[in-house]
Chains A and B, each alone.
Chain A
Amino acid sequence: MVFLNLALKSLKNRSLASILTVISIALSVILLLSVERAKRAAEEGFTQTISQTDLIVGARSGPTQLILYTVFNMGNATHNISYQTYQDIQKNPAIEWTIPYSLGDGHRGFRVVGTTNDFFEHYRFRGDRRVELQEGKPLEGLWDVVIGSDVARKLNYKLGEKIVVAHGVTHGEGIQKHDDKPFTVTGIMKPTGTALDQSLYVSLEGIEAMHIDWKDGAAPTPQTAIGADKIRKEDIKIDQITAFFLRTKSRIDTLRLQREINNYKEEPLLAIIPGVTLSELWHGLSYVEQVLKAISWMVVAVGFMAMLIALTTSLNERRREMAILRALGASTSKIIALLVFESTLLTFMGIVLGTVISVAGTALLRPWLETEFGFYLEGGALGKTELMYLAATLVGGILIGLIPARRAQQMALKDGLSVKI
């Protein structure tokens, strides 16, 4: 125990350098843990953007493209699929539910999705979380719109607000606006932390109704325009949708159903398993994660350098101390042990401080991170990987401590009992 006492008092004697060393190691640990946490949150948030959906079906294109425009609001579909095809596949007894998606219109940079109330009922993300409304009610009337939380927040929309949908998703004001057919905000969704927050949801009929008087992709003239009040939901015939999500009654049917849809005779279709495509996509992006990891290990190395410098610069002034210990019968290996013990103690305190700050910080900031950035912070604060990193840091600290310790031993051997400084 004399070592503990000696090491503690010696560190206390050089308290400023010791505190700074502990802080620099703690900062490295915080960064290391945060990067790991962020990485996991990003990966899980990404791959769990949609869950419980077994297949996403769209017109034949690439799987990545299909998942990007359905789940991430990115890019556009090159083709639509006919509503008849949708209804035909829907009849398949293996299917439990479907959610149709009709895309192509936007509102001030946000995407407008035509769907049905099946969306609110069946859509799941992050395991078993469902789309919930903060206020208002789901889609009912032809000109009803339910808006995502980001849309409500950024555009400061309240229930009852009249909004105009533009043709195509454009930022700012749309070029061609369906301003003769305004929608009314009837519901605002709770934040989900996914791309769902950045969309507006109307009924499939609403999408069709906006374009009812359009001819061959051209906007109507004042003469051909049909007023919003003259259109009734019952009269709308839905012609096409962009894609749909489906859930099988039994997971075993997924692959068979996927094959069937991909071989659908009437129309070229593509069915993908979202989980598979998402994790493929994620691994394509994993270099970012590698870069982050490399950076945080570099920060740990810098922390160790700070410790190495602090310990090495103090060695010269401690030569006297080493000679005294030698005279009292301490072997040179005890001198090594003392110094390694000091560096281990510094590293350990740094790790503890860093871990406490990181865990407490995550716990405190969690709600804010979830709503503000859509971070998905599930699971325990310290996973297996984190504990492994902490152990690696401790081992690294001990190894780094050997450098000044070895030097001290050499000096002690050379100095003997007569130190000439």
Chain B
Amino acid sequence: MSKLIEVTNLQYRYANAAHDTLQIPEFSIQKGERVYLYGPSGSGKTTLLEILAGILKVEQGEVKILDRNLASLSESERDHFRAEHLGYIFQSFNLIPYLSVQENIELPLHLSPARKARLQSEDAMSVLRHLCTRLGIITLLEKKVTELSVGQQQRVAVARALLGRPELILADEPTSSLDMDHREKFLELMFELCAQFGTTVLFVSHDRSIQHLFSRSVALDSVNHLEKGN
């Protein structure tokens, strides 16, 4: 299996900060993996996700996704890369409040022509309907986002992240606002769809009760070797 994400000697420090937030000598994810990355709050999980998403610029070290070195891309190239190859799911408030459910799901296709092109001959609407049927939100398409429960909102977020078959989904604790039963069902459904689309998942959380559902779990501390006294 080839590597989808390959991090080598990454060091990241926020501007004006006294210490590095991340010092990762080596970390990689294979294609098709479902990786569970855990660590306490403030340990740099979100920072790593933002680096992988190309929001934060890599100053030291190398971050390769799909064999592209993010450090060598300009800001707008990283924006395009993210739009084309990545899906991102937030902990909560994933949706734009003034758009309908369907408009929210379609948003990435409008923002990235490349993403739309990935659907190739497939009819975007039928793909969308298929995804929504699988996620059990087909009846909600015309609804206002504000009428949805939290669980429904998170499933809409999954549909949006998966539309256009991105290679990688980055999820920042998307289940923390769901109760236990829903968490497992939500993850099972998401993994099923990711497997179907061949999408790799990197999921960060501090809640270890769900880690058994993943193909691999990694403690951020075990890859992030912050030097003492740094």
Contact = CB atoms under 8 A, between A and B. Distances in A.
B75 A327 contact: no
The range of chain A's interface size is 20 to 34
Instruction: Please report whether the interface of chain A is mostly helix, strand, loop or mixed according to DSSP.
Output: helix
A417 B172 contact: yes
A329 B79 contact: yes
A329 B111 CA distance: 7
Interface in A308-325: 320-321, 323-325
A85 interface: no
Interface string B43-57: 000100110010110
B174 interface: no
B99 A9 contact: yes
Contact of B94 (A1, A9, A13, A324): A324
B76 to A, nearest CB: 5
Interface string B62-89: 0000000000000110011011101010
B36 to A, nearest CB: 19
A321 B111 contact: no
Contact of A2 (B76, B93, B111, B115): B111
Contact of A324 (B46, B75, B83, B96): B96
B228 interface: no
A418 B45 CA distance: 11
A328 B88 contact: yes
A415 to B, nearest CB: 9
B83 A329 contact: yes
B111 A416 contact: no
A324 B221 CA distance: 28
B136 interface: no
Contacts, number: 72
Nearest to B157: A324
Contact of A13 (B55, B97, B107): B97
A16 to B, nearest CB: 14
> Interface centre among A6, A12, A324, A418, by most B CB within 10 Å?
A324
A327 B91 CA distance: 13
B98 A12 contact: yes
A64 B49 CA distance: 81
Contact of B50 (A13, A331, A333, A416): A416
B46 A418 contact: yes
A330 B111 contact: yes
Nearest to B108: A328
B110 A2 contact: yes
A5 B76 CA distance: 23
A410 interface: no
Interface string A382-421: 0000000000000000000000000000000000111000
A176 interface: no
A331 B79 contact: yes
Interface in B81-137: 82-84, 86, 88, 90, 93-99, 103, 107-108, 110-112, 115
A329 B112 contact: yes
Interface of A: 1-2, 5-6, 9-10, 12-13, 320-321, 323-334, 416-418
Given A1-B110, A324-B94, A327-B53, 12 more contacts: A12-B98, A13-B97, A324-B90, A329-B86, A329-B115, A332-B75, A334-B111, A416-B50, A416-B56, A417-B46, A417-B50, A417-B55
30 contacts: A1-B110, A2-B110, A5-B103, A6-B96, A9-B98, A320-B93, A321-B96, A324-B90, A324-B96, A327-B82, A327-B90, A328-B83, A328-B107, A328-B108, A328-B112, A329-B79, A329-B83, A329-B84, A329-B111, A329-B112, A329-B115, A330-B79, A331-B79, A334-B111, A417-B46, A417-B49, A417-B55, A417-B172, A418-B50, A418-B172
Interface of B: 46, 49-50, 53, 55-56, 75-76, 79-80, 82-84, 86, 88, 90, 93-99, 103, 107-108, 110-112, 115, 160, 172
